[in-house]
Chain A
């Protein structure tokens, strides 16, 4: 018997999910319902307030001169407090993207039944420094026609529906 075979011999017993679900093997179960309220801090707090106004705001580092989005109170590269607030555009370009056929819990979407694939993307925002991206969804586009460098623009919820959240932008859609 070779060394790895000897090493693993007799270890770990295989179970199937069915054996647990059908109670053939006893298990203890718990479904937590945890609640948190996360403080956003001054930088993201202002970011959210501006989103509610239909605007995207960034913050500038006076040392490396990067215009940072999402805004932050200190520059993680220069390790100094950031300076002025800067409004940036609600347009940008697609840096990279996916065409998701499963949801966030890894459960299959019914794509054949007409469910829209999840098209999550990193979008480089116009007016921020090159490469500064945010995560958001793409919409009003054939998922298979998305491409790197595609120009996109935010589609906002109507003002009365905005709550001061990243989801005040419904998604980004392609523009010419």
Chain B
């Protein structure tokens, strides 16, 4: 296998509703990514595209629809999709193409336009559930995440007021992110007093619905070294899927993530992730989910993440900064693009180019993950400089 580097990145602003069409958003992020490393589309050998349910855009075969905006005209092109986990599968999918030796360069494009589903995209999710045993009960995503949060809380004795600190931290971090949709200074009381969506989830425990796109440029080592003095290497990839019988899993712990993380750490030669990883972007569509994933990534012992959060361990200037970007809770959640935004943040942090968001201590190794499908998929990427 060949070593693969990220050499460029582009991102759009995230809004609840953008005027641009999905393919226009994809174009903007892709163009920006090429410009960032002074490459032209003719320098690109192949393109992969990550985008989540077709039901958001209401465009069936959305991958094909997005191909032009993704710079894929007459190039090898392939779409991938694992629900919310898509954005971190994106670099893995691009990595296959280059690590295999088949291609020297690859564009990795992720796009989501959630605003097209009216009045709210939540309703578009009913058909992800088992059509006979679950759908007639009218479940929805907020419910199943609330159901998981509750199991996580009752197993470890975690309190809502402590978990709320994730929203406080991430929304504050997002104040320094120019794409951010809902950054802000909020307090624990603000989170607890915000509208109940599905207890134990309140409004400020949830990331917003968003439109946006992101893109990174991948290159094989010999090409990467010509493009940049600071290539950031994809040193570990992992992904796994737990059973779709999600009511028969114990939701208190993300086994799917531990399996994926172990695979990525093994590939990267990481034995003690809590010591060897300096910056992390755990997937945070909900407050509890960042902590759930910190435990699944083995960056905190099971049942200890809240204590570490309260002690400031995960702050931008803490021992292990998590979601220094502001995460999905602050920057926003255009599904696939949000996952790739997290990869981009680790890339910028390792380059030392994260500006006001830069974590101290010259980090050399970072990890990002995403999660989706029926709460069952884990996608993990380890980056190093």
Contacts and interface: CB of A to CB of B under 8 A. Distances in A.
Contacts of B353: 2-3
Nearest to B196: A101
Nearest to A25: B19
A135 B139 contact: yes
A89 interface: no
B132 A48 contact: yes
A36 B195 CA distance: 36
A104 B18 contact: no
Contacts of A77: 243
A9 B13 CA distance: 8
Contacts of A121: 147
Given A105-B120, A120-B139, A99 B196 contact: yes
Most chain B beta-carbon neighbours within 10 Å: one of A10, A97, A106, A118:
A106
Nearest to A134: B247
Nearest to A5: B178
B199 A101 contact: yes
A131 B28 CA distance: 48
Interface residues of A, number: 61
A115 interface: no
Contact of B123 (A2, A14, A104): A104
Interface in A78-107: 95-107
Contacts of A133: 247-248
Contacts of B361: none
A44 interface: yes
Contacts of A70: 130, 133, 245
B151 A95 contact: yes
A106 B17 contact: no
Contacts of A9: 178
Nearest to B145: A98
Contact of B133 (A117, A120, A134): A134
B247 A135 contact: yes
A12 B20 contact: yes
Contact of B131 (A3, A38, A105): A38
A122 B247 contact: yes
Nearest to B121: A106
Nearest to B122: A106
Interface residues of B, number: 68
A109 B126 CA distance: 18
B41 to A, nearest CB: 18
Interface in B89-148: 115, 118-120, 122-123, 126, 130-134, 136-140, 142-143, 146-148
Interface stretch (B4-12, B68-76, B365-373): B4-12
A117 B146 CA distance: 14
B81 interface: no
B276 interface: no
B20 A13 contact: yes
A100 B146 contact: yes
A76 B251 CA distance: 18
Interface string A27-57: 0011010001010100010011000000000
A20 interface: yes
A122 B211 CA distance: 33
A97 B18 contact: no
Interface in B177-233: 177-179, 195-201, 211-212
Contact of A4 (B19, B58, B179, B195): B179
B212 A17 contact: no
A120 B137 contact: yes
Contact of B36 (A7, A17, A97, A136): A7
Nearest to A6: B36
B248 A132 contact: yes
Nearest to B195: A101
A25 B200 CA distance: 38
B313 to A, nearest CB: 25
Nearest to B146: A98
A96 B146 CA distance: 9
A132 B243 CA distance: 13
A7 B140 contact: no
A106 B206 CA distance: 12
User: Which 7 pairs of residues, A with B, have the shortest CB-CB distance?
Assistant: A2-B355, A106-B122, A105-B123, A99-B199, A11-B12, A96-B151, A104-B140
6 contacts: A44-B132, A72-B245, A100-B199, A118-B143, A122-B151, A135-B247
Given A5-B178, A8-B178, A98-B200, 20 more contacts: A4-B179, A4-B348, A4-B355, A7-B11, A12-B13, A12-B18, A12-B20, A12-B211, A14-B13, A25-B19, A76-B245, A95-B151, A98-B147, A99-B199, A100-B143, A101-B198, A102-B197, A104-B140, A106-B197, A120-B137
Interface of B: 9-20, 25, 28-29, 32, 36, 58, 115, 118-120, 122-123, 126, 130-134, 136-140, 142-143, 146-148, 150-151, 154, 177-179, 195-201, 211-212, 243, 245, 247-251, 348, 353-357
